[in-house]
């Protein structure tokens, strides 16, 4: 029987009941303050850097000082644990900082034109000295192009993944998987050139009296090519995570394989599939090169994705960012903020719908 059990009957020996020396919070703060003061003296007094170098060097001094002080108070093992924990927190902060910087920059600069005129007008008849003009035509184009691309890529991608996981065996399945992996790394400009050479220059003249035609639908085809491998790979991985006993239980009840896939496998993997689809949608919504090559861009509103040039938000940002007008940068930042917000809304909506599957009720 331990000394703790003899002195306090009924008390269980747990780490909370073991008294160890711990580094006081005040000491931790003093070490941090001293580290950053030393870093500021080393960097700012000679004038060899700015506050960024002070922060980096101060954090290094803090880790060294924390390891030394904690080693004297808590012991070497506890000091190593505290130092590694601080490194993990540092890595987390470093990973969050770029995202926070992007969000802050988008919000701070994008609110300049966040008004009704921006969302209700196009750039038709807008000159370089005109402060008005908006991205209504670009929003319509993005929704139509990405929507059509999603309607084409999602069924093909999900069916392809089902084949690879549930039916695919032998060399053909390996060949399909290989080409999907190759397509995952294809540059967007290559997809745009493929649709330009095939659809715009060869197919579209059949429907336009022998003349090639740019269109939003051509942009949707290029975006679908880019979305397809992402959807196939993500869906394949999600289907492989479905436990085998779920399939076996369905087969044991006499349910055919196709019905097991529809009623058991797909509902179980649906949240992961939706995540993969939204990643593909986010990539497609942000592509500029394919839209520029096969849709051409336009200053006016075009609701028909099958006839005439059409704009998109990503192409609108690209054009406004390179425009000489002093009002163009504000339009570009607001369009970028609108694009991010649009993808965020679609992702949240898709996640909420994915939760309402049969197996989660």
118-356 topology per CATH? MetI-like fold (1.10.3720)
Instruction: List the chain domain ranges.
Output: 2-111, 118-356
- Please write the tens of the pLDDT for every residue from 38-60: 988 888 888 887 888 888 888 88
pLDDT score at 239: 93
- Please write the tens of the pLDDT for every residue from 224-276: 999 999 999 999 999 999 998 888 898 888 889 989 999 999 988 988 899 89
pLDDT score at 128: 84
pLDDT score at 359: 46
Q: Which residues of the chain have pLDDT under 50?
A: 4, 11, 358-361
HEC assignment per residue over the chain: CCHHHHHCCCCCCCHHHCCCCCCCHHHHHHHHHHHHHHHHHHHHCCCCCCHHHHHHHHHHHHHHHHHHHHHHHCCHHHHHHHHHHHHHHHHHHHHHHHHHHHHHHHHHHHHHHCCHHHHHCCCCCCCCCCCCCCCHHHHHHHHHHHHHHHHHHHHHHHHHHHHHHHHCCHHHHHHHHHHHHHHHCCCHHHHHHHHHHHHHHHHHHHHCCCCCCCCHHHHHHHHHHHHHHHHHHHHHHHHHCCCHHHHHHHHHCCCCHHHHHHHHHHHHHHHHHHHHHHHHHHHHHCCCHHHHHHCECCCCCCCCCCCCCECCHHHHHHHHHCCCCCCHHHHHHHHHHHHHHHHHHHHHHHHHHHHCCHHHC
pLDDT score at 18: 52
pLDDT score at 4: 46
Looking at the whole model, is its pTM more than 0.85? Answer: no
pLDDT score at 15: 53
């Amino acid at each position: 029987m331990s000394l703790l059990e003899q002195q306090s009957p009924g008390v269980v020996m747990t780490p909370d009941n073991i008294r160890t020396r711990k580094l006081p919070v005040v000491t931790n703060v003093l070490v941090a303050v001293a580290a950053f003061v030393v870093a500021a003296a080393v960097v700012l007094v000679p004038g060899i850097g700015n506050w960024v170098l002070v922060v980096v060097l101060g954090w290094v001094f803090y880790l060294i000082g924390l390891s030394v002080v904690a080693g004297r108070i808590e012991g070497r093992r506890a000091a190593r644990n505290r130092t590694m924990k601080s490194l993990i927190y540092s890595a987390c902060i470093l990973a969050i900082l770029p995202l926070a910087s992007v969000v802050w920059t988008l919000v701070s600069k994008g609110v300049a034109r966040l008004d009704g005129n921006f969302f209700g007008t196009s750039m038709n008849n807008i000159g370089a000295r005109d402060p008005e003009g908006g991205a209504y035509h670009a929003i319509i184009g993005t929704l139509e192009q990405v929507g059509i691309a999603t309607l084409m890529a999602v069924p093909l991608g999900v069916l392809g993944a089902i084949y690879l996981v549930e039916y695919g065996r032998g060399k053909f399945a390996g060949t399909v998987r290989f080409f999907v992996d190759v397509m995952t790394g294809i540059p967007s400009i290559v997809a745009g050139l493929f649709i330009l050479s095939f659809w715009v220059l060869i197919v579209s003249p059949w429907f336009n009296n022998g003349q090639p035609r740019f269109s939003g639908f051509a942009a949707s085809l290029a975006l679908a090519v880019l979305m397809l491998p992402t959807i196939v790979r993500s869906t394949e991985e999600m289907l492989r995570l479905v436990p085998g006993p779920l399939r076996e239980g369905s087969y044991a009840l006499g349910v055919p394989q196709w019905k097991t896939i529809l009623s058991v496998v797909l509902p179980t993997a649906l949240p992961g599939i939706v995540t993969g689809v939204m990643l593909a949608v986010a990539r497609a919504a942000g592509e500029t090169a394919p839209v520029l090559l096969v849709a051409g861009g336009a200053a006016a509103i075009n609701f028909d994705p099958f006839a005439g040039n059409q704009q998109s938000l990503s192409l609108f940002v690209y054009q406004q960012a390179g425009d000489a007008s002093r009002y163009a940068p504000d339009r570009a930042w607001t369009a970028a903020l609108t694009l991010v917000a649009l993808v965020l809304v679609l992702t949240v909506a898709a996640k909420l719908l994915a939760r309402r599957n049969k197996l989660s009720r």
